[in-house]
Amino acid sequence: MNSLSIAPECLLLSLFLLSLIRPESAQAQVSPADAALSQDGPRAAIESYFKAHALGKDEFITQAFAPEAKIQFVEGDQRKEWTRDEFATRFQQPAADEYRRVRRIQRLDVSGTAASAVLTLNYPQVLFTDHVSLLKTDGEWKIVSKVFSVDRRDVAKEAIKETLRDWMLPFEPTGIVGNIYYVGSNMISSFLIVTSAGHILLDTGPVEMLPQVIENIQKLGFKPQDVKFLLNSHGHFDHCGGFAEFKRRTGAAVVASKLDGELMTRGGKGDFYWGDDLAYEPVKPDRSVADGESVDLGGLSLTAHLTPGHTKGCTSWSIRVNEADKDYDVLFLCGLTASPYKLTNNEKYPNIVADERNSFRKLRGMRADVLLASHGFYFDLAGKAARRKPGAANPFVDPDELRRHVSEMEKDFEEALLAQETPR
Ligand SMILES: [Zn+2]
């Protein structure tokens, strides 16, 4: 993206500036959909401007803006101004693919040969709000002025913090099926598998969630000290941020795939998407599992299935358990979300598309009576837990759910990939 060295500025001042440059004529607002049909002109100029951002080519600025156009903004307390050509020099580099979908026309007012529009361009660290005025001269619409404001914030980190607050609400621990119990929060999973020789815990959530997990294990009448193995779905902070502390308290042996084990050993740093942003206390696995290997305890066997894509070593686990004299195949799905990632030409994860598609293929070939996953919303935790009543059929048993879930995630992924591959 183009780099702009501007301090956070005052939106009100920008709006004031805008009021100075808005066309005098009466405004007739049309919805963006109507505008698409009837006002190709202003839209074409705006689209050219979006192209300059997407492709990093100054020629699209020259196309979109009138030669005498003014680009105004506020730096500190000072109002600044660029000419069109000064502005054009800032477009040197194409934006990364995943940012193509976050440019929006928020509002478009057209009145005769004048138009004004509010545009937002949402980049990971910066939200630009552009107020542009357009005029039709000699049959062509051009942007004649642009006032912009910059909201420089750590969008990703802020969003994560907010999300975590919503995802760590306490959840009443509950039996799922057989000797599998849910001991996580409302949205971040932690599963306890109880055996006569000690227990297995799959994921702890972030370290802030650990007290909840420990309390939930105790509430069910079990002892955290009896956990022998601490298994991992994947090496993101919201699933294994509590591992180092849990291991310290219980001595449980940490088990992870090779690649996510490396991520955990780095404390989550160097993630292909998050970089160093979501680091946690590093923990070195005591044992690494390859695809198809199992962890055995007290006559139970949990098998690792590598389903990479969300992380490079994302691990789903399967187990057969018994409830009321019936066997159930249970799958703990790692997570298939990859659509927000950069999918094309991802230098940090060149195999991402092949990995994700292989994971879909592998999961389509598996069966599960009970689908569980690293976040509650993937398997309707709250709904099913509320419907779980003694004597009634177990709502967690749904042999078609894995197929449905994989189809949904695959559709989402292929759509995102197509959007990223299609040039604007
Ligand atoms: Zn994750």
The CATH number for 39's domain is 3.10.450.50
In terms of residue numbers, what domain contains 32? 11-153
β-pairing, 126-137 vs 140-152, is antiparallel
Q: Compute the distance from residue 335 Cα to the ligand 1 centre, in Å.
A: 7
Q: Are residues 88 and 182 in the same domain?
A: no
Q: Are residues 252 and 383 in the same domain?
A: yes
Whether 213 contacts 170, CB under 8 Å = no
Q: Are residues 196 and 103 in the same domain?
A: no
Q: Is 291 a catalytic residue?
A: no
Model pLDDT, residue 196 = 95
Model pLDDT, residue 120 = 87
Q: Are residues 55 and 176 in the same domain?
A: no
* AA letter at 346: N
**Integer Cα distance of 23 and 113 in angstroms:** 10
Model pLDDT, residue 222 = 98
Q: Are residues 187 and 299 in the same domain?
A: yes
Q: Compute the distance from residue 310 Cα to the ligand 1 centre, in Å.
A: 6
Task: Return the sign of the alpha-carbon dihedral for residues 257, 262, 264, 268.
Answer: negative
Structure tokens at 313: 């070593």
Among candidate residues 130, 155, 175, 127, the one with its CA nearest the CA of residue 381: 175
Q: Compute the distance from residue 236 Cα to the ligand 1 centre, in Å.
A: 5
Three-state SS string across 246-290, please? HHHHHCCEEEEEHHHHHHHHCCCCCECCCECCCCCCCCCCCEEEC
Q: Are residues 104 and 190 in the same domain?
A: no
Please report whether residue 225 resides in a domain: yes
Question: Which of 109, 137, 153 is the endpoint of a domain?
Answer: 153
Annotated catalytic residue, options 131, 199, 236, 405: 236
Long-range contacts for 186-189 (Cβ within 8 Å, ≥24 apart)? Answer: 186/376, 186/381, 186/382, 187/375, 187/376, 187/377, 187/381, 188/238, 188/239, 188/374, 188/375, 188/376, 189/233, 189/239, 189/372, 189/373, 189/374, 189/375, 189/376, 189/381
Per-residue pLDDT of the chain (424 residues), as tens digits, is 333 333 322 333 333 333 333 333 333 344 444 444 444 789 999 999 988 888 888 999 999 999 999 999 877 778 889 999 999 998 887 776 555 557 889 899 999 999 999 998 877 667 888 999 999 998 899 999 999 888 766 666 667 777 888 899 999 999 999 999 999 999 999 999 999 999 999 999 999 999 999 999 999 999 999 999 999 999 999 999 999 999 999 999 999 999 999 999 999 999 998 888 889 999 999 999 999 999 999 999 999 999 999 999 999 999 999 999 999 999 999 999 998 888 998 999 999 999 999 999 999 999 999 999 999 999 999 999 999 998 899 999 999 999 999 999 999 999 989 988 875 4
β-strand partners of 370: 330, 397
Chain centre distance of CA 424: 23
Please report whether residue 5 resides in a domain: no
Q: Is 239 a catalytic residue?
A: yes
Q: Are residues 240 and 356 in the same domain?
A: yes
Annotated catalytic residue, options 271, 310, 349, 378: 310
Task: Return the sign of the alpha-carbon dihedral for residues 157, 257, 204, 253.
Answer: negative
Q: Compute the distance from residue 112 Cα to the ligand 1 centre, in Å.
A: 50
Annotated catalytic residue, options 53, 131, 234, 305: 234
Q: Compute the distance from residue 311 Cα to the ligand 1 centre, in Å.
A: 7
Q: Are residues 374 and 397 in the same domain?
A: yes
Annotated catalytic residue, options 131, 199, 305, 375: 375
Structure tokens at 153: 């914030």
Total domain count for the chain? 2
Q: Is 238 a catalytic residue?
A: yes
Q: What are phi and psi of 320, to 5 degrees?
A: -105, 125
Q: Compute the distance from residue 30 Cα to the ligand 1 centre, in Å.
A: 41
Annotated catalytic residue, options 53, 131, 199, 239: 239
Please report whether residue 381 resides in a domain: yes
Q: Compute the distance from residue 164 Cα to the ligand 1 centre, in Å.
A: 12
Q: Are residues 177 and 148 in the same domain?
A: no
Q: Compute the distance from residue 238 Cα to the ligand 1 centre, in Å.
A: 7
Q: Are residues 47 and 196 in the same domain?
A: no
Q: Are residues 247 and 122 in the same domain?
A: no
Q: Are residues 124 and 162 in the same domain?
A: no
Please report whether residue 327 resides in a domain: yes
Please report whether residue 114 resides in a domain: yes
Q: Is 305 a catalytic residue?
A: no
Question: Which of 135, 153, 171 is the endpoint of a domain?
Answer: 153
β-pairing, 29-30 vs 65-75, is unpaired
Q: Compute the distance from residue 253 Cα to the ligand 1 centre, in Å.
A: 22
Model pLDDT, residue 4 = 35
**Integer Cα distance of 40 and 37 in angstroms:** 7
Q: Is 234 a catalytic residue?
A: yes
Please report whether residue 52 resides in a domain: yes
Annotated catalytic residue, options 273, 341, 349, 378: 341
Question: Which of 106, 127, 153 is the endpoint of a domain?
Answer: 153
Please report whether residue 2 resides in a domain: no
Give, as one character, the DSSP assignment of residue 229: E
Provide the 3-class DSSP secondary structure of residue 387. helix
The CATH number for 315's domain is 3.60.15.10
Q: Compute the distance from residue 259 Cα to the ligand 1 centre, in Å.
A: 14
Please report whether residue 4 resides in a domain: no
Q: Is 131 a catalytic residue?
A: no
Structure tokens at 230: 């601490």
